[in-house]
Amino acid sequence: MKKVHIFNAGPCKLPQPAIEAGIEALKDFKGTGMSVIEISHRTKEWESIMDETVALWKELYNIPEGYHVLFLGGGASTQFCYVPFNLLSKKAAYLDTGVWAHKSMKEAKVIAEMFGGEVEVVASSESTTYNHIPKGWTIPTDADYFHITTNNTIYGTEIKEDIDSPVTLVADMSSDFMSRPVDVKKYGLIYGGAQKNVGPAGVTVVIVREDILGKVNHPLPTMIDYRTHIKGGSMFNTPPVFPIFIMHETMKWIKAQGGLEAIQKMNTEKANLLYNEIDNNPMFKGTVIDKADRSLMNVCFVMEDKYKEKEADFLAFSKECGMAGLKGHRSVGGFRASIYNACTMEDVQALVACMQEFAKKNA
């Protein structure tokens, strides 16, 4: 099998044990004689997977009583409207740190126009192409909730601490889910697509504190009401069975690594190695202006100005070296190495060696 170092932004590299377990489950799920994509989700074999996956989330994140873990379809983008539908009565506050944060604000404004209310942007880094996390902002105490996007996949910035908020804190953690310990009790609601750290595309995870629900005055469509899915155990309708199975296996792998403290240590070491190379290689430079804002998940960098014309050459060279997924997002250009949980130190070392070899030949 061809050796490839995967740096895709999502879908991304998954743990090999999860992939292998998925292959076996496609052949025969738990000795049923049926594939995992053929079996009814109402069987005890499948219900045990749902229960175990919820338990793993609760264990790894130390989720306290009063919270529910939901597995839904539609991607994190669908949650952009779920959140205001369920929580917005008078005012919602948003921190604008990237494309996905901006899109979530847009959906909230639609809900506000439908039922009354407003959306306040507490701060934005849009004017500088989101190259930093805004500082010095204040959360309005009259807001129904305050929404943040913890990691910005396109621009390579990350909020690495759990914010103290005077109002219900809501976080889109799509691209740094399960990459570090999280103090869940500081949040009213956390959501994210699985396809970065916790599984393949197709399932969205929602962690929600029950006491924040049921307080809006406007009508809620059945499927958009979180209480529907709490009551139905994430099976009000047929759940995305195979993505949940792979997530189950991925969570088992995270636990086997030593849990989130160990995962955070590995992620920090990988990121430090790569950022050190970017800072010291004469051909490259980082795109995030404040190093404290640098993402541990998505490392964004470009060519130094005098080497700009060699960008395509480096991409071609990196492919020859076995690198996949390094091309930066079209809105930023340059390069992006997504080094999620399953990306190994060997992968990052190979990328660093590739960068050094290219500089040796071209600088």
What DSSP string runs through 105-165? HHHHHHHHHHHS-EEEEEEE-GGGTT-S---S----TT-SEEEEESEETTTTEE--S----
Amino acid letter at 252? K
Active site residues: 100, 172, 196
Instruction: Tell me the domain boundaries of the chain.
Output: 16-256, 259-362
Mean local confidence (pLDDT), 263-271: 98
Q: Is the peptide bond before 11 cis (omega within 30 degrees of 0)?
A: yes
Point out which residues pair with 3 in neighbouring strands.
none
More confident residue, 106 or 332: 106
Would you place residue 12 in the very low, low, confident or very high pLDDT band (cuts 50, 70, 90)? very high
Would you place residue 300 in the very low, low, confident or very high pLDDT band (cuts 50, 70, 90)? very high
Query: 317 φ, ψ to 5°?
Result: -65, -40
Terminal CA-to-CA distance of the chain, rounded, Å?
A: 33
Is residue 21 scored above 80 in pLDDT? yes
User: What is the predicted pLDDT for the residue at 95?
Assistant: 98
Is residue 57 scored above 80 in pLDDT? yes
- Mean pLDDT for the chain overall: 97
Mean local confidence (pLDDT), 303-308: 96
Fold of the CATH domain 259-362: Aspartate Aminotransferase, domain 1 (3.90.1150)
CA dist 241 and 248 (Å) reads 11
Which residue in 268, 315, 312 sits closest to 294, CA to CA?
Answer: 268
Is residue 331 scored above 90 in pLDDT? no
Mean local confidence (pLDDT), 127-147: 97
CA atoms within 13 A on the CB side of 6: 16
User: What is the predicted pLDDT for the residue at 332?
Assistant: 87
* Measured CA distances, 55 to 80, 135, 306, 346 (Å): 26, 36, 53, 31
Do 16-256 and 259-362 have matching folds?
no
The architecture that CATH gives domain 16-256 is 3-Layer(aba) Sandwich (3.40)
Q: Lowest mean pLDDT: which of 1-15, 88-102, 231-245? A: 1-15
User: What is the predicted pLDDT for the residue at 330?
Assistant: 86
User: Is beta strand 91-96 parallel, antiparallel or unpaired with respect to 118-124?
Assistant: parallel
Would you place residue 1 in the very low, low, confident or very high pLDDT band (cuts 50, 70, 90)? low
Point out which residues pair with 92 in neighbouring strands.
119, 145
What percentage of the chain has pLDDT greater than the value 90? Answer: 98
- Structural tokens at position 119: 């959306």
The model's pTM: 0.97
